[in-house]
Amino acid sequence: MALIGKLVSLVSRRTLRSEGHVFAVTPERIAIAEGIHAALAMAPMLCAAVLLARPEIAFGAVAAFWNCLCDPQGAKAERLKTMGVFTALGVVVLPLSAWLAHWGYAASVVTLFVLVFLCGLTRSYKPSLGPGPAQAGLIASLAVVIGIASPEPLTGALAQGGYFLLGSFWAMLFCIVLWPIPFRQSACFTLAAVFTRLDAMAGHLETLDARPGMDRDGWDEFDTVYRRGVRMAIERGRALAAHDVRTSPVLGPGIDTAGRVFSALIAIGHSRRNPAVTIHEDWRPLLQGLRQLLQSLGDLAQQERPMADVPIAQANALLRQTAGRKDQVARAVAFAANAIMRLTAHIPAFAAAPLPSPAATPPTPFHIDTLVWRHALRVAAASTLAYLICTWLNVTFAYWGAIAAIVVTQPISANTWLRVLERAIGSFIGGIFAAFLLTHLSGPVAMTLAILPLAAVTVSLRLVNYGLFVVFLTPMFMLLSDFIRPAEGLIMARLINEFVGACVGVAASFLLWPERANNGVIGALSAALSANLKFAAAVRRLGVGDAAALDHLQSEAGLASTRLETARERMLMEGRWRSEHLEQLRELIGAIRIVCGAAAVIEVLRVGEPGARDRQRADRYDAIAIGLTTTLNTPAATMPTPDVDPSADDLDQAVSNVVTTFDVYVNGMSATR
């Protein structure tokens, strides 16, 4: 595990720039144990199919694999609910679609459309910061397609449903009851990735030229690439801790500490590029000492080792070096070192902490909103059309085209492009691998011995990157298809089906109720302005004892800015990269980030409690936030006027700069309407 931890840290550092882009990679979410789970859950059904010479029993292995994909991990009740929903859906739609398809081609087409639409109604589309487990409704719609491709009379269809139920039930029993996985490894890998990225951020900061007007690209990279990459890693860790309370004793305090170190680095960066701030000549050794401390914490986390004397000694050394210092870099480093000292006192070991019982969560009422039913209808139409085209072309395994259409069609059209790119590249590489295996493997035993490790790797990578996931998913399912129903020309069939499914999915996303990214950019901008100015106002109002509240508000501000950046990049993916309007939006995002940075500086370097003038400034920020969001949503509203008094500090000037930049953006937006 130590070797895997080192690999996770290395990849996390190298993939920091991919955050928010097409091929985002989250190496801390690699799940070796879950992959082994999937292989062992599939093995009995595949072995039975081989020993009994009944290839159709492998439908149970497919069900076990899909159920492992649906497994959200976390609390046992949540896992049972999610996997149980998929089992219930699959055991109904698979035999039903197989039996109805037995009545002819027209019945197959109608069944495909109706059942995929109904499965789509069970899905949800909540915003996320990274890849997540497949939802039961999505995988159940794939079961519909498999049933359509396997028409049987009632007896045969019920047998398929029985194999499906057996494989799915065994997966639930094995994964949840017989061999539950301790979830601490994910927590430790997450902490290792976060501390590694903080170290990379500090290293980049160390190289930047602080002179006014110099190294602008480097500072822009610090404000966007590094802050976004670290923030998203921190928030993934926070979401993981909230998702499974078993990780909370280890992951929660570690993520809180990482958030405070993140604030300290933002404060150091803000101070270094401010010509009015005097930087002490020994700032570099202090920053290097902080980097060494972060590296030590990352090493301990990735190896799941107890807190050692080395990081404690390093933190104490930094506190001694910064004791009594008034310069901003020293105070920021002391802020980070104090946060780490509190962590070492709170968690004696990354891998040894009591496991609390998960609290029961109240049930949420089922509700189908417009986005859900529109997308369900969009996916149903796309999958049906892809199936019609592939069967008309008489392509082997035409149902692969329908599966490709289901997977690539996304609620937002730009997301469909991302999924098509990832799936195309993954399928191409995986197809080459599959071609090699199909020409070198002979017999069901050899097939089984190849399918199981491929399944293990596929499930291990399901949360890391979709493209990598498809690289191993492609040969695994091609071997499974050949195992159940041997056929010729699988490689060419795969390419044709993938091409048809991708084209149909893109067309459906852009032609059927397109939810383009610009439909959400106004809301994202409004949320980013509101959240960042709310954090700025809170910093003015709240004191040293309100660190937890400030951490939460800063987190919300960072997330809102990241979502706005992502919305802009989606618009770029829709072919608007030459738009001057998007360049103005980029400038506005940078100005918003500076507000968050200036507020973080005040929080980190605070001395004493806020006074009456601070509260007046906070009220002003609140009024500006209301004015900006009102203007954004109501173009006829009056724009707030930035009034900068002579005694304004960095935060006041940053807020005023946001108003000025916002004015340019809104005027440009009005000109393009």
Sequence-distant (≥ 6) Cβ neighbours of residue 435 within 8 angstroms: 491
When pLDDT is averaged across residues 595-622 and rounded to a whole number, the result is 80
Sequence-distant (≥ 6) Cβ neighbours of residue 107 within 8 angstroms: 100, 101
pTM: 0.72
Burial of 456 (0-12, 13-18, 19+ CB in 10 A): buried
Asked if 233 contacts 193 with a C-beta cutoff of 8 angstroms, the reply is yes
Percent of the chain whose pLDDT exceeds 90: 11
Residue 53 CB neighbour total at 10 angstroms: 8
Asked if 260 contacts 551 with a C-beta cutoff of 8 angstroms, the reply is yes
C-alpha 169/C-alpha 167 separation (Å) is 6
C-alpha 310/C-alpha 303 separation (Å) is 15
Q: What is the pLDDT of residue 356?
A: 46
C-alpha 298/C-alpha 174 separation (Å) is 33
Q: What is the pLDDT of residue 99?
A: 94
Write out the two tokens for 23.
């091929």
Asked if 35 contacts 456 with a C-beta cutoff of 8 angstroms, the reply is yes
Residue 613 CB neighbour total at 10 angstroms: 10
pLDDT (tens digit per residue) in 570-608 = 666 555 544 556 677 778 887 888 788 788 778 777 766
pLDDT band at 142 (very low <50, low <70, confident <90, very high): confident
Alpha carbon separation from 672 to 293, 523, 581 (Å, rounded): 50, 18, 8
C-alpha 91/C-alpha 94 separation (Å) is 6
Indicate if the pLDDT at residue 354 is higher than 50: no
Residue 583 CB neighbour total at 10 angstroms: 14
Write out the two tokens for 125.
């589309």
Asked if 469 contacts 462 with a C-beta cutoff of 8 angstroms, the reply is yes
Complete DSSP assignment for 587-653: HHHHHHHHHHHHHHHHHHT--S---HHHHHHHHHHHHHHHHHHHHHH-TTSPPPP----TT--HHHH
pLDDT band at 482 (very low <50, low <70, confident <90, very high): confident
Indicate if the pLDDT at residue 353 is higher than 60: no
pLDDT band at 22 (very low <50, low <70, confident <90, very high): very low
Q: What is the pLDDT of residue 6?
A: 63
Mean of per-residue pLDDT scores for the chain:
78
pLDDT (tens digit per residue) in 280-307 = 677 888 888 888 888 888 887 776 665 5
Q: Which amino acid is at 221?
A: E
DSSP 306: B
Q: What is the pLDDT of residue 42?
A: 92
pLDDT (tens digit per residue) in 549-579 = 887 787 788 778 777 777 776 666 555 544 5
Asked if 73 contacts 181 with a C-beta cutoff of 8 angstroms, the reply is yes
pLDDT (tens digit per residue) in 399-448 = 888 888 888 887 766 666 667 777 778 888 888 888 888 888 778 888 89
Indicate if the pLDDT at residue 634 is higher than 90: no
- Dihedral of the CA atoms 253, 256, 261, 267 (nearest 10)? -160
When pLDDT is averaged across residues 245-263 and rounded to a whole number, the result is 75
When pLDDT is averaged across residues 7-21 and rounded to a whole number, the result is 60
Indicate if the pLDDT at residue 164 is higher than 70: yes
Q: What is the pLDDT of residue 103?
A: 93
Residue with tokens 């933002």: 266
pLDDT (tens digit per residue) in 34-51 = 888 889 999 999 999 899
Q: What is the pLDDT of residue 278?
A: 63
- For the stretch 323-337, what's the b/e string if a residue is b when 16 or more beta carbons lie within 10 angstroms of its beta carbon? eeeebbbbbbbbbbb
Asked if 617 contacts 540 with a C-beta cutoff of 8 angstroms, the reply is yes
Of the ranges 58-72, 97-111, 150-164, 353-367, which one carries the lowest mean pLDDT score? 353-367
DSSP 349: B
